[in-house]
A = this chain, B = another copy of it.
Amino acid sequence: MKYWEDIKVGDRGELGRYTVTEEEILAFAKKYDPQPFHLDREAAKRSIFGGLIASGWHSCAIMMRMSVEHMRREQLAGVGSPGIDSCRWLKPVRPGDTVTVRTEITESWPSKSKPIGFIRRRADMLNQHGEVVVTIIGVGMFQRRDAAAGGAA
């Protein structure tokens, strides 16, 4: 297992790849963001986006999925997140796009009251053309090794 102490400021990562299908874009939009440019191919063509695009929240959810798979591969003891500091949907994610996510740890500090530590991370989602489509600066919580090893919680 890797703990908060194993994550260092400056660490960079790449979170694999994910291809976003039209079917998935429509399914997410139908349930959570039923705006015409996410849900209706013809209406989307007439919108300012010129075609169907994924909900921004869908892009965020995909980034989360990629992060969880990364944490599993790396055996990182993640315990959730208090929130995000900024999210920018810079370019549309369209049906058939294959995205990857590049991350960098920018800050790290221990909790004063709980057996966990926090990290701040910048995560850029890029499409197959190398364009950054989403940037998120968020905070993650991880178990601390000192606590896991039997220290007082």
Minimum CB–CB distance from A143 to chain B (whole Å) comes to 9
Distance of A49 Cα from B78 Cα, bound (Å): 13
Q: Which of B34, B56, B85, B86 contacts A81 (CB 8 A)?
A: B56
Number of copies: 2
Stretch in contact with the other chain, from A6-14, A62-70, A99-107, A120-128: A62-70
Q: In the complex, are the beta carbons of B47 and A55 less than 8 A apart?
A: no
When C-beta atoms are compared, the residue in chain B nearest to A49 turns out to be: B80
**Are B65 and A34 closer than 8 Å at their CB atoms?**
yes
Question: Is A83 in contact with B87, judged by CB distance below 8 angstroms?
Answer: yes
* Chain B residues with CB under 8 A of A84: 84, 86-87
Docked-complex contact B78 and A82, CB < 8 angstroms: no
Cβ of A118: which chain B residues have Cβ within 8 Å of it?
none
Q: B34 contacts A68, CB within 8 Å?
A: yes
